[in-house]
Structure 1
Amino acid sequence: MMRHSMKLFLAATTAATFAFGTAQAEEADYILATASTGGTYYPVGVALSTLVKVKLQPGQGIGMSAISSAGSGENVRLLREDEAQFAIMQGLYGYYAATGTGPLEEVGPQSNMRAVSMLWQNVEHFVVDSDIAETGTISDLVNATGSSVALGARNSGTIGSNAAILGGLGVDIYENYDLVEGGYGPSAEALQNGQVVGISTPAGVPVGAISQLFASAGDGVTLLNFTPEQMAQADDERELWTEYVIEAGTYPGQAETVTTIAQPNFLATQASLPEENVYLITKTIYENLAFLQAIHPATSVMSIEKAIAGLPLPLHPGAIRYYEEVGVTIPDRLRPQG
C-alpha cells in the first residue's frame, strides 16, 4: 500500500514539475508583413509562413500567413498598430526604429519591436538605360538628375534606403528626380519601356524582376558598380552598407562581375508576443534551413553562426532562449533593457 502511494506521489510530482517547468505555447495565427511580390521579401516570407504552418500549426496551434506590403517603412507601422506580428525589414529601418530617427523621427523609438533573426543581405541593384551609362558606376544615376527614375513605392523601405544612399552621394531624390512610384516589377517594365532612365531594386540575389528585365532588354540596360569611395559616401558613416559582388552570369547576358553594396535584412516581431511562441518559431527556422533554401537562394547564406550578425534591434526573449541553447553568445546590446 505504501509503495503504491509512493508511486502515485512520484507520478504526481513529476507531472507537476513538467507542467510548471515547461512553458506552453499559445495558439495564434500571425501575420508576416513582407514587401512587393516582385522582390525577395515576399517569396521568403511565404516560405517562412509555410514552414511555421507545416511544423507548428498541427501540434502547437501556431499559424502564420505572409502578406505583401509597401516594404520596410510600412512594416514598422504594421507592427506598431498590430496589423502584423512579424515583418521582414531592412537593417536601415531597424536602425530608424531603434533610434526614432529618419522617417520615424515624429513617432519616436519603437519600443515594442524586437529582432528574431538576421536573414540575408539586401543587395542594391541600380540599373540604368545603357544610353546614360558613361562610367558604369552609380555616378551615372547621380548625373541623371532632372530625369524620371523609379526608386520604389511610396513609403516603402526601397525608396527610404535609396534616399539614404543617394543622399550620401549628394542627391535629394525628392528634389532632383521626377519619381515614378511602384514595385519592382512595374519599375523594371518602366525602364524597359523608356518611361524612366534608372531604377533601384534592393533584394536578395537573384531578383526576379531584374532577371526578367535583363532577359528582355539585353544590353539595353546596365547594372551599376560602386567604387570604394562611392561606397563610403553612400554609407555615410552608418556602418550599415558593405561591399557585395554580383558574379558574372547571375543575370541573363551579364558578362562581367558587378561590385555593388548591400545591407542586412532581418526578421522583426512585437516584444509582447509570448516567449514560447517566438522560441518555437526561431527553433523551427534553424532546424529547417534546407526547406527555406530550397524555396529561395537568398536564404542560402543563413546559418546559426550568422543569426545575430548586424541586428539593429534587441532580440526577443524567445529568440535569445533558443540561441543560448545552441551555444550562441548574446552581446549586451542585443538584450532588452528593463
Structure 2
Amino acid sequence: MKTQSIMALAFASTIAITSPAIAQDRSDWPSNFTVGTASQGGTYFAYGAGWANFVAENLGVSGGAEITGGPMQNMALVHTGDLQFGLTTMGPARESMDGNSPLAPGLEMDNVCAIFPMYQTPFSVTALSSSGITSISEIPDGATIGFGPAGSTSDTYFPKMMETLGVNFERRNGSWSDLGGQLQDGLIDVVAFAAGIPIPAVSQLEVQTDVNIISMTDEEAKIITEAFPVSEFIIPASTYQSLENDSRVVSMWNFAIANCDVPESMVYEITKLTMENNDKMMSIHKAARTSVPENYNKNNVLPWHPGAARWFNENGYEIPDSQIK
C-alpha cells in the first residue's frame, strides 16, 4: 500500500509556552505524526491537511497529511500502524472491521478507534451543462462515469447505487482533480462525487465551465436509503454558484480515526483542541461546521479511543465503557 506523502511540517516554535498541552508528560508521544486523507481535489485532502497543520502548530509535534486511496485504505494503514491518524466513512469502516475490505480480504481491522465526528459525505452527480444531462434518469446508456479513486467511498458505493437506479455505465477511476479535468475535456460523461461540500474539484469546474449538479428525485432517494447505509441530505443552494435551488441527495458520516495504540494523552489533547475550536476548523474547510461534539453519536461502527472518550465524557457526552477500546 504505497502512498504519496505530502508532509506539511509545523514546529513547536509557533506554540505559546503557556499551553497546557506542553506542560504534561509527553514521553510516550511519537516525534511526528501523519494523517491519511485521499486524493487531491477532494474534501478529505483539504480537510485532513489543514487539520494536521492545525494540530502540529498547536501541540508542537511535526506532522502532515498523506495522499491515500481514501477511507478504505486509511482504515488499513491506521490499523497496521503505518499511519497514526486518518479519515474514514462509516460504510467502509464497517466493511473493514468485518474483514470485507477489498484491500485485505478476511483481515478484521479492529485496531482502529474513532476520535471525533467530521461531516457527512453527500453522494452527488455532476455533468457538463452542454451534455444536456439534468437528472440521473437522463444519463445515457453506456455513459462513462468517474467514481473517484479505486477503493474510495464513492467507488465502493456509488456504482452499486447507479446500478440500483437502473443506470448502465462504463466505470472510470482517478483522483477527483483528474476526473474533473476529464469531464471538462469531454473524455467522460459524468462524475459521481462522494465528498464533503463544497468539493474543491466541483468549485474549480464551475470557474472554468458550466455544469449541472444533479439532484435525486424523491423516489430515487427513497430507493437508495432503503438499500444502502445512507440517509437523505440537502445540499444548500448557496454551496455552489451552479445551484439555483437546494439539491436532494444522500450522505454517509465521516469520522477522524487513530490507531488504538496511539498514547491516550496525545489523542485527548488532539480531541480537546479540535472539539473546542470549531471556528478554527471552519477556517480549514466549511464542511467542519458539523465537526462538533454533539455529533459524536453518529458513530455506530467504531470503538472509541480512550483519549477521545475521556474528553467527551468529561464534557457531558456519554460514551459507555463498552464502546471504548
| Interval of TM-score (by shorter of Structure 1 and Structure 2) | 0.7 to 0.9
* Count of aligned pairs: 301
Q: Deviation string for 1:47-91 (max 9, x for gaps)?
A: 21112111212xxxx443111112112212222332211111111
In the other structure, the counterpart of 2:147 is 151
Q: Which residue of 2 aligns with 1:139?
A: 137
Q: What is the DSSP-based 3-state SS (H/G/I as helix, E as strand, rest coil) of the residue aligned with 2:237?
A: coil
Q: Could you list the runs of 5+ residues in structure 1 that have no partner in the other structure? A: 1-21
In structure 1, which of residues 300, 309, 312 is the aligned counterpart of residue 289 of structure 2? 300
Cα displacement (A) at 1:130: 4.1
SS in 2 for 1:125: strand
For 2:272, the aligned partner's letter is K
1:209 match: 201
| Aligned 8 A contact 1:37 1:68 in 2 | yes
User: Which residue identity is paired with 2:317?
Assistant: V
Q: Establish whether residue 161 from structure 1 lines up as the match of residue 157 from structure 2.
A: yes
- Identify the structure with the greater helix proportion: 1
Name the stretch that deviates more: 323-332 or 189-198: 323-332
Q: Tell me, what secondary structure is at the counterpart of 1:67?
A: strand
- What is the aligned counterpart of 1:277 among 239, 246, 266? 266
The 5 Å alignment of 1:1-338 reads 24=26, 26-28=28-30, 29-57=32-60, 62-101=61-100, 103=102, 106-130=105-129, 136-141=134-139, 144-170=140-166, 176-218=168-210, 221-238=211-228, 240-331=229-320, 334-336=323-325
1:12 alignment counterpart: none
Corresponding letter in the other structure for 1:248:
A
Distance 1:25 1:41, change over 3 A: farther
Change over 3 Å in CA distance of 1:281–1:261 after alignment to 2: same
Shift of 1:237: 4.4
Displacement, 1:330? 1.3
Which structure 2 segments of 5+ residues have no match? 1-23
Q: Is the 8 A contact 1:168 1:236 kept in 2?
A: no
Contact 1:72 1:158 in 2 (8 A): no
Distance 1:23 1:236, change over 3 A: farther
Q: Deviations along 1:17-64, whole A, 9 cap, x unmatched?
A: xxxxx875623111100011201111111221112111212xxxx443
After TM superposition, the score normalised by the length of structure 1 is 0.81
1:188-243: CA deviation from partner (whole Å, max 9, x where unpaired): 1211211111111211211111112123221xx321111233223223444x3112
The letter for the 1-side match of 2:192 is S
The structure with more radius of gyration: 1
User: Residues 98 and 325 (structure 1 numbering): CA distance in 2 closer, same or farther, change over 3 Å?
Assistant: same
Distance (whole Å) between structure 2 residues aligned to residue 129 and residue 302 of structure 1: 32
* Contact 1:33/1:86 (<8 A) preserved: yes
SS of residue in 2 equivalent to 1:212: helix
TM-score by length of 2: 0.84
| Counterpart contact for 1:289–1:302, Cα < 8 Å | yes
Q: 3-state DSSP class of the match of 1:120?
A: strand
* Percent sequence identity over aligned pairs: 26
Q: Check 1:102–1:55 CA distance in 2 against 1; reply closer, same or farther (3 A cut).
A: closer
CA drift at 1:131: 5.9
Where 1:89 maps in the other structure, the secondary structure is: strand
Give, in angstroms, the shift of residue 97 of structure 1: 2.0
Residue of structure 1 in register with 2:21 after alignment: none
